[in-house]
């Protein structure tokens, strides 16, 4: 997964903690992911995570953490791999959380879940 997508998926998982409509299993998995991530971060990414925790609805906090994580992943691909594994564990434990953002005209977006998915057009 590219750094931008991985950062976005990680932040989306974290936001489940503060989502009133999220299932308790998803919130619990997100809290576990948060605890792991908090223990791994230092410097600017840690500060961004603390700001997101203080004001989770503030979009600039979301974007700041995404940007800090992307930069960290580019510097440390091993950490990106580790985070991807933890993120997959959190998603399995809490159900599936997917987000699709399309920009521009004439886009086609597809999301699928499962072990044997076939998508044709």
**pLDDT recorded at residue 96:** 54
Q: Is residue 101 domain-resident?
A: no
At residue 61's C-alpha, the angle toward residues 65 and 47, to 5°, is 60
Location of structure tokens 């990680």: 10
Is 79 contained in some domain?
yes
Answer yes or no: is 36 within a domain. yes
Q: How many domains does the chain have?
A: 1
Range of the domain at 59: 3-94
Q: What is the pLDDT of residue 118?
A: 66
Percent of the chain predicted with pLDDT > 70: 84
Give the end-to-end CA distance of the chain in Å, rounded to a whole number: 24
Q: CA–CA separation, 107 vs 102, rounded Å?
A: 7
Pair 73, 86: CB distance under 8 Å: no
């Amino acid at each position: 997964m590219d750094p931008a997508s991985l950062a976005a998926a990680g932040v989306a998982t974290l936001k489940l903690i503060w989502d009133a409509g999220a299932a308790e299993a998803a919130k619990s998995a997100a809290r576990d992911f948060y605890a792991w991530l908090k223990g791994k971060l230092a410097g600017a990414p840690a500060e961004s995570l603390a700001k997101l925790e203080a004001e989770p609805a503030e979009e600039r906090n979301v974007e700041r953490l995404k940007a800090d994580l992307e930069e960290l992943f580019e510097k440390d691909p091993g950490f990106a791999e580790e985070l991807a594994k933890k993120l997959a564990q959190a998603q399995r434990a809490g159900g599936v959380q997917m987000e699709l953002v399309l920009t521009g005209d004439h886009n086609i977006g597809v999301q699928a879940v499962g072990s044997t998915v076939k998508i044709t057009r």
